Structure formats: structure tokens, C-alpha cells
Structure 1
Amino acid sequence: MSHPFVLNLIPTTHAANDDAPSRASALLDPREERVLALHKAGVSRRKIVEATGETEHYVRRVTKDVPVTEKLPTTPSERAVARCYPMAIGRTGIKDYQLRSVMSECYGVEWDAEKGRYKGRYTVDQLKRVKERIRERATAEGHSAIFVMDWINADAPLESSTRITQCASNLQDAIQEAVDEFMQASGIQHVEEGLDLTLARKKQEFAARRHILKLAVKGVSKEPVARLQERTMDQVNQLAGTPDAPGVTVAVTKLHHPEPKGDDAFLDYCEGQGWLHPDHYPEVESAISTAGY
């Protein structure tokens, strides 16, 4: 007697082309789910054993042939790329100060006693590599990474660019007017025999422009303005035949800012200057509180 053919489908039966994640999604127990979640996130087997308390043999068996789908960043560079990438491909891009802030958090900071602030431990080359990797990832995923200068208004980029260009043009005109005024009043009129007067005036005009900028714009020269003025007056007095005349003498002191090591940076600074002893902190804090500050 013949029997009809019956195909029984049971939960443990899978088609040959089922992928690993789908075959286990509904059948995994909580232990396996936890191990696989950590494995897919790129956590090492040893770390999984430490985090779950499972044996290495168990972890090895559960994760066998299961690919890692998302690798956790482990180096400062990888962490910086992972954190900056979403901002870089956003509508407004990532500002320079945002990028540098993340770099400092990922690479660490150190106290600059001369400038009185923290600075990142990353190098210019490391910053460039992070930006390059962000661009490469964006290109691979069909996006565009935008690194934005801090002065740009992301909501009105064209307007802000036009405005700052006009500001620069106005500044150039003002500088040229100042140089022209100087040359008209103090331009070289005579030179020694054998020298080119036109060349001498061009050199003087160039040097005058640089000197005006050094005096007027902080940061143009690495030399402190006070020292520049002192050096200038020494030369002027010698040329005027009065080398003993009093010039501009300004003491240039290299400041040292102690790193804050408490909750109140102001009191830390006072202590660093030798103005306040730590034993007096409670009394000072009480006085500040009583005064309503």
C-alpha cells in the first residue's frame, strides 16, 4: 500500500541560501544574543569573555563563521573619524573648532603654561590624515564631506563670503592709504651715489607696510611689539646722532600660567601667583558667597 508524500517543515530546517544572521535571529537565547552583539560590533574574543563571563570555548562556538559587521574604533584616529564623520557629511558640515575639539578629546590634551590654556596632543599630520579618511569614507558611501572655516555662516555661506571679501578689500585700501601717507611724509628723497633711488623707495615702502602691520595687528610678528618698538628706537637714536637718548624701554616678561588643579580656576591662579595660600580658601570662598557672587 502506497503512502502520500508529506513535507514536514520544522523550526530547525533552513533553506540552503539563508544567511547566518537571519537563521538565528528568532532562535538565539539571551546568552548567544549578547555574545553575537559584541562580536558583530568588533569586540575581541577575550573582551567578550570578560564582559559576559562565558567560557572562551562557548564564545568561539557561538561566533564561528559569523562576520564582524561593525568594528569599534580603537585608535585615537579611528575614534576621531567615527565622531567627526556624521558632522562632516551633514548639511552645514563640520567647523574647524568642532574638528579640533574632537581631536583634542581623542588624542588628549596638555597644559600650555606660556599661553595659559590646554592644547591638543595631536600633530598637523594626524589632523590631515583624519580629514583624508573622512573624505575617503564619504566618497565610498556617496556623500560629500565639508570642512568649514569658523568664520563662515553656514546658513548664509555666499553672503558671509562676499562680506568678508569686502572687509578684506576695505582693509587693504586703509593699509595702502597709511603707507602712501607715510611715504609722502617720510619717503626717501636722496640716496648715496651709485644707489638706485627708485629701488630704495620700493624697499622702503615694502618695509613700511610690514612694520605698520606688525604694530597694528597682533600675531603678524613673532617678536613682541614692545621689543620691536625698543629695537626701533635704538636704531632711530643712533641714526639721529643721539644714541644715549632715552628710548622706549618695556620689560617683556614671559608669563607662566599654572595648570588649574581645583574647582576654582581663579583661586588656583591666585595661588600660582603667590597671592593666596590654600589655607585661606574657605575664608575667601565664604566672603565671596556673602557678597552674593
Structure 2
Amino acid sequence: MQHPFVLKLTLAAHAANDDASSKAPTVLDPRKEKVIALHRTGMSRRKIIEATGETEHYVRQAIKGVPVDKKLPTSPFELAVAQCYPIAIRGTGIKDYQFRAVMNECYGLEWDAEKSKYKGRCTADQLKRVRERIRDRAEAEGQSAIFVMDWINGDNPVESNTVITQCASNLQDAIQEAVDEFMRVSGIQHVEEGVDLTLARRKQRFAARQHILKLAVKGFSMEPVGRLQERALDQVNQLAGTPDVPGVSVSVIKLHHPEPKGSDAFLDYCEGQGWLHPDHYPEVELAISAAGY
């Protein structure tokens, strides 16, 4: 008696079939693949949207659950972002001097022989780019990056802002009073024919305010105060018909301070000025220590 043919599928056969199906390549949508590739580099969601033209909803769904590749920072830019980010997202934020200290550490310093101090090599554009990257990363991670001006008191931020605003208001009032007093005493009263007196007084008031600030506020003008006074007195003497009257003599000496090479910058500076010979270092250091410094 013949038996009907029966096909029997063994477990081994099932396993082989399953393996074959699991090894089939997964084809990603090119759009999604591009979004994920940018996300893995650490690019923020906003930047990905700008680069691809996709909607925010599409980008969110595409990168959901996809980890960012962790790469050790190598460039000064990446190092600065990595070091400043955890400080910036704290509740107290990162102070400007802290931020610049990290930037100087990452980008390096160079010696300013004229001003006798070190200055950072990082540019204003690099400072801006690092801040922007930190803000973008914070936004992408649901954090808030705070860059704090040095004058703000972190324990009482609102009070410190109120006080400094009042100080500025008081200073503005004082400057205005000074300008008003100048115009009362020395304001233009007569002009030549064809000249608008109102315009001339308005221009004089503005120029007087600027000159007062240049004389009173250090760093307000790039021109040294002594040079400014010398130039003003020269014009005054010419207008008064006494050009030969001796004015303020200002000699501008461009100093050169060599970069400190030893462990004691003060002694290096003294040596650079010719005040101290290296043979005297031990006794000077002893005297400084004895004085309690």
C-alpha cells in the first residue's frame, strides 16, 4: 500500500528560513538617513532643520532613540564647548571671566610686550561661535545655557541689577548737569550770517558731552587723555591768537616689556627694566619672604 507524500518541516528548516529573512538589508529612506547622519555628528535639531529643509516634527521622529556618537574633543573649539557647557547649564550660569579663562586655556595666550601682560589668542568671532554652539546644544537637550556678566551678584541678581541701573541713572544725571553747566557758561551765543544758531548749539552740546566723557572716563577714548588735552589747547591758543603760548607737553613712550621666562614674573620684570641683576635674586627673594609676601 502506498502512503501519500507528506512534507515535514523540521525545526532546523524553520531556523534556516528565519536567518535568511533576518539578514535582509534594511533600506532607510534617504531623507531619514541624512537626518540621522547629521544627528550622529552632534548637530543640533535646529541646524539639521536648516541643513535639510525638513520639518521639526519629521526631524524629531527621525532621531528619536538614535544616540549621538561620543567623540573626544580635539580642536580648541570643541574643547572649549565641552568644558564650558556643564558650567553654563548650571542654575548660576557661567561668569564672563570663567568663560574667557577656559577660552584662553583652549586657544592659548600670547605676551603683549607693550602692555606687559598676557592676552588671549581667541578672536571675538571665536567667542561668539562657542557661545552659539553651547546655546544650540542646550536647546537640543532641553537645557538653558546662561552667560553671566561679571558684575551680577549671583546670590541677589535682581537687587544687583536694580542698584547698578540706579548708579547709571545717577551718573547720567551728573553728566547732564555738567553739560548744562558748560553750555550755560560757554554755549555759543552768536554765529556768522548764514549759520543756523540752533544747529550750532546742538552740535556744541553733543561734542561737549563726548569731550567730558573722554576726559573723565578712562578707556572711553582710544586717544590718550594727555594727547587729547594737548590737541585741544593747541586749537584754543590758535583761536585766541596766542599760538606761541606753551601748552601741555606730552611725550608718549612706547614701552617694551619682555615676556617672563622664570618662575618669578616680578623679578623678571625688574631685570627687564635693568633694575636687578640675576646674581641678586636669592637675597631679594629672602627679603620678600621676610617681609611676609
- Using the size of structure 2 for normalisation, the TM-score is 0.74
Deviation at 1:73, TM superposition (A): 0.8
Quote the Cα distance in structure 1 between the aligned partners of 2:246 and 2:152. 47
1:246-265 superposed matches below 5 A: 246-265=246-265
Matched, 1:277 2:277: yes
Q: Distance in 2 between matches of 1:68 and 1:198?
A: 66
Hey, what does 1:194 align to over in structure 2?
A: 194
Cα distance in 2, alignment partners of residues 230 and 245 from structure 1: 12
Question: What residue is the counterpart of 1:137 in the other structure?
Answer: 137
Q: CA deviation at 1:254?
A: 2.0
Q: Unaligned regions of 5+ residues in structure 1, if any?
A: 1-66
| Conserved 8 A contact 1:93-1:148 | yes
Give the whole-Å Cα distance in 2 for the aligned partners of 1:137 and 1:69. Answer: 14
Q: Which deviations, in whole Å up to 9, do the C-alpha atoms of 1:89-136 show, x marking residues without a partner?
A: 000111111111000001111011122211111111111111111111
Superposition pairs of residues 69-88 of structure 1, within 5 angstroms: 70-88=70-88
Alignment of 1:217-228 (within 5 A): 217-228=217-228
SS in 1 for 2:118: strand
Partner in structure 2 of residue 152 of structure 1 = 152
Which letter maps to 2:161?
Answer: S
C-alpha contact (below 8 Å) 1:112/1:119 kept by paired residues: yes
Distance 1:87 1:179, change over 3 A: same
Over 3 Å counting, the alpha-carbon distance change for 1:292 and 1:128 in structure 2 is closer
1:266 aligns to 2:266 (yes or no): yes
Match in the other structure for 2:234: 234
- SS, match of residue 119 in structure 2: strand
* Deviation for aligned residue 1:276: 1.4
8 Å contact from structure 1 (residues 226, 252) kept in 2 = no
Deviating beyond 6 angstroms after TM superposition, the runs of 4 or more aligned structure 1 residues are none
SS of match in other structure, 2:248: coil
Q: Report matched runs for 1:103-182 at 5 Å.
A: 103-182=103-182
DSSP-derived class of the 1:119 partner: strand
Ranges in structure 2 where 5+ consecutive residues have no aligned partner:
1-66
Q: Report whether the alignment pairs 1:92 with 2:92.
A: yes
Greater Cα shift, 250-259 or 117-126: 250-259
Amino acid at match of 2:257: H
Q: Deviations over 1:223-281 (max 9, x none)?
A: 00000011111111111111111111121222222211112222111111111121222
RMSD (Å), alpha carbons = 1.8
1:16-95 map, 5 Å:
70-95=70-95
The farther-off stretch of 78-87 and 119-128 is 119-128
Q: How far off its partner does 1:289 sit?
A: 4.1
Cα distance in 2 between the residues matched to 1:227 and 1:239: 19
Structure 1 CA distance for aligned equivalents of residues 290 and 124 of structure 2: 48
Distance 2:287 2:204 in 1: 59
How far apart in 1 are the matches of 2:119 and 2:72? 26
Distance of 1:168 and 1:151 partners within structure 2: 13
2:286 and 2:102 map into 1 onto residues whose CA distance is: 37
Residue 171 of structure 2 aligns with an amino acid whose one-letter code is L
In structure 1, give the amino acid aligned to 2:202: K
Matched pairs, number: 228
Deviates more, 1:276-285 or 1:163-172: 276-285
Which residue matches 1:209? Answer: 209
Amino acid at match of 2:218: K
Alignment CA distance shift 1:74-1:205 (3 Å):
same
Matches of 2:203 and 2:155 in 1, distance apart?
44
Q: What amino acid sits opposite 1:153 in the alignment?
A: N
Q: Distance in 2 between matches of 1:68 and 1:207?
A: 57
The equivalent of 1:24 in structure 2 is none
TM-score (norm 1): 0.74
Letter in 1 for 2:80: A
CA deviations on 1:59-101 (whole Å, 9 max, x unpaired) are xxxxxxxx99532111111111111001110001111111110
Tell me how far apart the structure 2 counterparts of residues 171 and 126 of structure 1 sit (CA, whole Å): 34
| Alpha-carbon separation, structure 2, partners of 1:242 and 1:101 | 53
After TM superposition, the structure 1 stretch with the greater mean CA deviation from structure 2, 246-255 or 278-287, is 278-287
* CA gap 1:125/1:237 in 2 versus in 1, 3 angstroms: same
